[in-house]
Structure 1
């Protein structure tokens, strides 16, 4: 994905915004400190001041020092040199800080290096995920995926993605079997690829609101030898918010639905997701802060689902819920 729109997976420690391809154009970055509360508001995505912008910047929040849990940082990425008005809008997202925003230019040649730098391979359950710049072979007994960060955030290093990989692995270890799987807000395609690896006889479809994300997913599928198509053992791709595409609706009901987006859209889509899952089916929800977990879980309880498992990764909670059998 090229940093995704709000409503999809958070990147970095939390990212929201419209996509841009910095590997092609270079970019500009606006950086300033922010509080944890401000970072949480940004991650929740209810930002009318940003919605009014065209194009929208990509916002990333991160926790630079775990020993200072209240001290976070906001980075805003834009394609063109930012105006004073845009800098002021970004600064207003973090009213707690007294420091002026720092504006830096990221040349085209530096972007891929920056995006790949420091991204060590990750292990999550049986999965080993790395970038092309760190092409270590997967250890024996692990399933490896190469995910290029050059055009995208979302290589698997964010706690929500790592937690989802661990949750999927738990399901497989528990002996669960799935035949029809959907990955909503797929980003780079990693979770769809992982689901296919765990249940190779299943039919998998992956969607994202961002067309660039689907382009990147197709590229990643080719790199990782994941076959595309509608048959068993294949992954089909589609561009859609939620499950609005006809192909996604036609393939329902699913026995496994994965949605790594954000708390607001997860709550809003609870009735749609619940209707799209078979009785007894499983829903994996991510992209929500631990402080938002109760609200998200309650929205799905109202639709006839119940909580069966959860994973906490940093400040982020991954929920596994099951639909009650009739």
Structure 2
């Protein structure tokens, strides 16, 4: 749901001003961990795991910004040696200063796929902003706090079964760019949840690990089942739960997703991404017209995935030029013939 749909165009401006009155220095961490450019990658990954970080700033002196190590970037280079120096894999994050509007910072977190974002002023790291910090401010904005989760949840949820193989569940998560899968029984009632973090921490192998792919648990025995790695009896919320309450549960339990269910029958899922996206939707921006045709009513899940990928891609293009229109027609493949997709 967009900001306009949530409160209307007129109220959106008033609410934006209220949200953006919360400044980044008011919510960000001013004490934070860093790593040095010559640190060993294996040691850095261990530190990030210990501190539950997905991103960590690189700095020679703990003050001046020299780059960023992102778990998302590292995991895509799974054959990289864990003995590599941080300087060889550090990236340059988007420039976000203490004066950046919190709605824009929220958008950067989503666009880049970051969980933590360094806030930098004239090359000096002033603090680190996380998705959790965005969630923590929601209870200060009644108009957002009291929104029912049904308004922003994803109603179409990909799930796994307990007897599914872990390797297949991981493939689904990678293909859909998601980090968790609810686990359901044969009656489609939720019985657990499995995520990348749960799988990566499972000690599948005994051999000495030499590459990033081995450190993060990139391969698994074929006979390992989801029920062996899932978290049983996960936190579940009812459809009438408010955004503020969902954010409170996520922060208290340090989790990123909450299945929404009635009598354990899955209705949808809400994630930290969804809550941060709600804040980011109030950012002032020029509108782009998006049109996707060729899908059917039953393709809602695919539509949501397409819109998310397109929006993220257009936001990156917007750094160079403001896109005005995106049109996509989808054709489906059939046994009796081949459909065409045009752009």
Q: What's the TM-score, normalizing by structure 1?
A: 0.26
Higher strand share: 1
Higher helix share: 2
Q: What's the TM-score, normalizing by structure 2?
A: 0.25
